[in-house]
Each structure stands twice: as structure tokens, then as C-alpha cells.
Chain A
């Protein structure tokens, strides 16, 4: 079964450093998302991306965050200057459709630890 692939599975970084989290969505999917989950808390929406542009973003997704689809397969989340509170599990997701039958497929996540 096709799946969303995320790399790396774990990322440790120093506060103030830039990180790039990588995702390969399912190949025929058109909608891409990033969510995050701070340890023990609920999963929170960050951003959605369609047709090479952001379609919606949350208040969490400030100027320190950016997303890109640099080629036909990868979808990346960049955090420009990491803060301690950015430590979380980051999930990439993709869907083929948006609307009636949309099913969202999540990757296995990247655990980001900011020291």
C-alpha cells in the first residue's frame, strides 16, 4: 500500500538553528499538509498546500516556518530559527482529493528536539 514517507525520523538541533523536515507524499496526491504534536498533546494543524501554494495556515505557522515543494516528489517544512517550544513530532500528510471522499494519509513523523 502506498505511504507517506518522512525523513529523518529523529532530528536534534540547537536553538536558533535552521531545520528542514522532508516528506514524500503519495505519488498521485495533490493536497499536502503539515501537522505537529507536542508530547502528550493533541495533533495541531500547521499548514495546507495545493497547486504550489499555501491554501491555509494556522497561527502557529509564523514567519519562522515555510513550506516548499522543490520538485515533483518532495514536500519540505523549514523552520528558520528553532525555539525550544518547536520541539514536537511533526507529521506530514497528503490526500488525493479534497471534499466528499477525502482521506488523509499521515507519515510516520519526524521527532524534532530543540536543545
Chain B
């Protein structure tokens, strides 16, 4: 029940295209859903996060869509750029976010 399932494992997108990564969870106590971006040799960096009281949140080219009834959330990267090539992790935690449960990660490659 603590798992967060992430798909796909890897994704290749053309420059300017839309990258979509999906996550699903079981634990209804999860209350905070962040997405992290990680480049090789670096620690994960927060991209965008959402709480279950909203169905969508947009920051620049990054959008989280959240479906509480289906217990699913997804990351959309619009106008994908080669610089977006990285590993993306979804995560979830209960209130106050002190223990993040991560998905397995998606390796995104944006072809120029």
C-alpha cells in the first residue's frame, strides 16, 4: 500500500513534443504529490507538486494532472526540449511530507 507505480520506464520524445509520465498510488492517506527531476551526478530537484484538493497545477511548461478517484497523477512536459532529458520521479507522502515514497523513475530523452 506504500507503493507508487510509475510508467513508462523510459520515454523518447521529439523536440517540441509533449512528454507524459504517469503514476498511481494505493495509500489514500497520501496528501502531497511532488515530481522530481534528476540529472546524472546530481540529487533530485523539485519540479512541481500538487495537493489532492486540486485537479491540475501548471508551472511554465510543466503540468500535473491529478485524479483523486482513480488515485492517479501525471506529469505533462509541453514543448519538450533536449535540456529536459533527465530522470523523472513521482513521489507521494502523507501530510507534511516527511517521508517520500518514490516511483521507480522515468528516463526521458528528448531528441533534437
Asked if A and B are interacting partners, one says no
Interface of B toward A, CB cutoff 8 Å: none
Interface of A toward B, CB cutoff 8 Å: none
